[in-house]
Structure 1
């Protein structure tokens, strides 16, 4: 007596599960330029590492004798895998089954995936391609009643945000619950032309009286309502990429900087770049004319380990660059001003972006490097209407709350409250300043005519008097005057920035307890 018959049935059910929504539905998925769920899991995870959990779960069909005639698999796949050789929970929605609608699935699968992540302390990756959680209006008729909305296991989603790295890839139309699962993450990606994200799609918007989809084809309406070009610029998602392959690569890259869970140390890579590398171009990077801009991204490339800068959120909150990078192989989080956008002034979105990134770095214990050229918070009526000061103070609070080591380098400007948000002034300040440094409570150039109004009015030649005042104040505002009073710890040769930051990284990770 053996169990051969049951094992044969198991293999049969597994084969049915691998067909997903059927040959026609899978072909339709591919015709839209989209990979199917199983192909996505194979492409994202290390080769051969994915072990599926609950593969045969679904809705079985039986004949009058109770014999299996077919299976509709659950439209959600998950399992244990490795990424970069490290264990993760990998999940994928299957759009070929009822458009990935959760009501066609088994809620416990999604709950178990989320629970597995935080209970076993494993990063979780969600590949989201679904219409949401509630299904269609027809579903309500089948149930025979409506219901008060609830999301089974959402507490596990919240727990994961506090416990493990969470990556979300929107790989198709993601509405309702799918949209919520996308944004409830530490790093999120949309694919240009392939992904859309909204609380409700165009048809529902139209049904509410907006007539949004009128005179548009459905695909265009979806793009205009919730395409990547919208959400990568408003901060709903972090990044927009050109292909699914690029999305997988960026997800893997993000995780390479992360520990497997909060409380574990991120890993140092084998150093490949000399600590004492001094790039000559840094000397002339900052122009003497304060009205001229320069490339902060070029500075990052010269200071951090070659080829390691991984920027996230490039298209939103653009006055600040947020990135991960390495110094002598040690992973660090980087915040840097971008003088090419709004002169580097922090408006509401930039402040929101900085706050979120600093909190992420602190949660996963990554030292922070802040490269500063900040003329202050954005001013003017639009800035006031956007609530800039509230978001700006929240960003400053995040920096003051951060418990990880932080080093700041002042390349040029540091003015006002925003300038003081470079680091926590109530702690030891690991800080360096370039000779191009220019700081104060407000830019002196903008207040000369007001501060010296009476002198200028009394002068025979007001223009000459103004120029004389400028020359006097230029001496007063020299960064060396600040250094005399030890208001500035060290003024450095810009070429020494990398060696000094590598020193900081080594000491920071020693303090964090890394080997």
Structure 2
């Protein structure tokens, strides 16, 4: 007696699984400009490293003698693999089987993948291409009853956000729970033109009189500008590269600390930073060249480029050590914070706190945005949440005042209840509000009573400006140190090396707010 028959059946069942939804539906997927799920996994992970879990799950078909004739595989494929030789969990939707709808899945495989990442303390990469929710309307006829939405998966999603890095790549049309899984991650990406994200898709939205194409309703041009999704890329391969880069800065879980990367042989030339900030306060400057100069060459990984534009933020390295950075962007409303910018800052601070990343904050902020639209947008509520996130932060901070630091918004440049590294450039100015606006309030009666109001205003401004020199503040120990901009990189290197041994593994009390 041998197990030859059973081993042959095992191979047949594996073969059925590899067929996915069949040649016709696979062709349709490719003709739409999309890879199928197995191609996606192959291109994402290290070659030959994918170990599938639950590959035999599906709906078996049998003849009148009970002999297997076919298996329609589950449309959720998952398993373990390595990315750049580091272990991860990968879970992906197979759109060729029932369009990725949850009623094509078997055995709650998505939840199993979330559980596997949590218990093994491994990063999770989701390849999302479908609804991934409670199934289609057609499923009601099949089951004979309607399901009450429970979001059974969400406790698994929420707790993973507190423990392991989670990346979601939207690679097709995602709606409902699938869309929620994209947003419920530490880093998310959409592929331009081929992926869309909706609460409900065009056929449903048409019922309320809005007749829109998929991209008009939920394309990347919408969701990477409103902050639902972090970034957009031009191809699936670029999405896989973005996932790899993001994870390279982070530990496998909160129970470890971010690994040090390669120490650069040399940094960029620093002397030009002495002229980076224009003397004319009405002129702006580009922040990204400053970032490329201060951080290790080629290490800047920006997150959320198209939303919350008053700051540029993301991950970088200093002397090989991973850090999170936030930098004011004067090209957007002069660096003044709107609601989106405050929300982006919160996400960045939470990411740093969750995964023990030191923070580098480059400050040039005139305050929160002002005016009627800002008040209607509720900037202050989002701003207060951002200030609270900073006050709850426990990781080391390095703050550099490059130019302006005014108002309540600037008060959140670091947690004032803890020791932080803080420096200023000679170009720095600070106060409760900019002189230009404050003069009209503080000296109104004196200016109006003058025979020459404009001359009086200029006289008062010159006097007040002479008192706002950062050197005057340094005399009073308001600022700890004013440094030559060309020396900033050296101060950052010292910070990174002093901060590295202070990083403490473990879960943080504040959790993570997606």
**Hey, what does 2:62 align to over in structure 1?**
62
The C-alpha deviation readout for 1:55-108, integer Å capped at 9, x for no partner, is: 111001100011111110000000000011110001110000010111111142
The C-alpha deviation readout for 1:217-253, integer Å capped at 9, x for no partner, is: xxxx111111111000111011111110100000000
* 2:254 paired with 1:262: yes
**Hey, what does 2:241 align to over in structure 1?**
249
The TM-score with structure 1 as length reference comes to 0.96
Q: Report the Cα distance in structure 2 between the residues aligned to 1:191 and 1:350, rounded to whole angstroms.
A: 23
Q: Report the Cα distance in structure 1 between the residues aligned to 2:261 and 2:114, rounded to whole angstroms.
A: 29
Q: Residue 210 of structure 2: which of 209, 212, 234 is its match?
A: 212
Q: Which runs of 5+ in 2 are unaligned?
A: 506-514
Shift of 1:15: 1.0
Q: Report the Cα distance in structure 1 between the residues aligned to 2:158 and 2:436, rounded to whole angstroms.
A: 48
Q: Report the Cα distance in structure 1 between the residues aligned to 2:215 and 2:504, rounded to whole angstroms.
A: 47
**Hey, what does 1:366 align to over in structure 2?**
357
Q: Report the Cα distance in structure 2 between the residues aligned to 1:299 and 1:512, rounded to whole angstroms.
A: 26
**Hey, what does 1:76 align to over in structure 2?**
76
The TM-score with structure 2 as length reference comes to 0.96
Q: Report the Cα distance in structure 2 between the residues aligned to 1:381 and 1:107, rounded to whole angstroms.
A: 52
**Hey, what does 2:318 align to over in structure 1?**
327
**Hey, what does 1:14 align to over in structure 2?**
14
Q: Report the Cα distance in structure 2 between the residues aligned to 1:152 and 1:422, rounded to whole angstroms.
A: 39
Secondary structure of 1:163's aligned partner: coil
Q: Superposition pairs for residues 419-438 of structure 1, below 5 Å?
A: 419-438=410-429
The C-alpha deviation readout for 1:93-129, integer Å capped at 9, x for no partner, is: 0000010111111142112111000011011100000
Q: Which runs of 5+ in 1 are unaligned?
A: none
CA RMSD in angstroms comes to 1.3
* 2:388 paired with 1:390: no
The C-alpha deviation readout for 1:9-62, integer Å capped at 9, x for no partner, is: 111111111110000000000000000000000000011110111111100110
**Hey, what does 2:232 align to over in structure 1?**
240
Q: Report the Cα distance in structure 2 between the residues aligned to 1:462 and 1:384, rounded to whole angstroms.
A: 31
Shift of 1:456: 2.5
Number of aligned residue pairs: give it: 505
* 2:437 paired with 1:446: yes
Question: Is the 8 Å Cα contact of residues 263 and 365 (structure 1) preserved in structure 2?
Answer: no
Question: Is the 8 Å Cα contact of residues 344 and 373 (structure 1) preserved in structure 2?
Answer: yes
Question: Is the 8 Å Cα contact of residues 257 and 331 (structure 1) preserved in structure 2?
Answer: yes
The C-alpha deviation readout for 1:397-440, integer Å capped at 9, x for no partner, is: 11110110001000000001101110011211310000000100
Shift of 1:278: 5.1
Q: Superposition pairs for residues 273-312 of structure 1, below 5 Å?
A: 273-274=265-266, 279-312=270-303
Question: Is the 8 Å Cα contact of residues 50 and 80 (structure 1) preserved in structure 2?
Answer: yes
Q: 1:380 to 1:107 in 2, by over 3 A?
A: farther
Shift of 1:136: 2.5
Secondary structure of 2:224's aligned partner: helix
